[in-house]
Structure 1
Amino acid sequence: MRASLFAILVVSVSAGPVAAQPRLATPDMACAEAADLVARAGAIVLTTGPFTYARFVRDGGFCPLPETTRPAFEVTRDVPRCFVGYTCHDRFTEGEGRE
């Protein structure tokens, strides 16, 4: 019993703290690279500016009900208004100034 407890302690201590991975940023990517990343992942959170981020999806299947998709255009390294995929929005609050 003591040996297994010691082994668990050694494994947990040697693993160390987990470092946060930086989020990928659309301004650092080429347009095709950002769009391909969203298409391959299906749904992904990307940084869009110094203090902003958004969740992008490939299609409406990645949005919770009753949300729907809206085309998402972001700044990329090579295109100022790049279509990267879609964002999910509540279909019942359309036109209320939500972006």
Structure 2
Amino acid sequence: MMRTLLSTLALTLVATAAAAQVGPPTSQRTCGANRQLVMREGAVVLDTGPSTYARFVKNGSECLVDQFPEPAWVPSSNNPQCFIGYRCKDGSDDF
């Protein structure tokens, strides 16, 4: 019983670690492939450069209540300024 439990736990940890890995940088995929990934996932963290990561969303419904969607561009293999979707920005408290 204990052996089965440990095996299950080990498999769960391996699967979780694999799911958390970030794929290749946006500059190594085409603009269309980057955009398609964001549209398919809804919200995704992507590698945008050396030690640089950002969260991109397909629309404002993926942002928190006090945030708004702002258009986002990333470098891709075929376009230095590829529109990928949006980034969630904090709203201003100033009125």
Shorter-chain TM-score: what band? 0.7 to 0.9
Question: 5+ unaligned residues in a row in structure 1: which ranges?
Answer: 95-99
Aligned counterpart, 2:2: 5
Q: Supply the distance in 2 between the matched residues of 1:44 and 1:73 (Cα, whole angstroms).
A: 14
TM-score (norm 1): 0.78
- State the Cα RMSD in Å: 2.4
Moved over 2 A (4+): 5-9, 12-22
Count of aligned pairs: 90
Please, what TM-score do these two structures have when normalized by structure 2?
0.81
Structure number with greater Rg is: 1
Per-residue CA deviation, residues 39-66 of structure 1 (Å, 9 max, x unaligned), is: 1111000000011010000000000011
- The sequence identity of aligned pairs, in percent, is 37
Q: Secondary structure at the match of 1:8?
A: helix
Shift of the 47–93 alpha-carbon distance from structure 1 to 2, 3 Å rule, reads farther
Distance 1:90 1:13 in 2: 38
| SS of alignment partner, residue 76 of structure 2 | coil
Letter paired with 1:45: V
Give how far 1:29 is off: 0.6
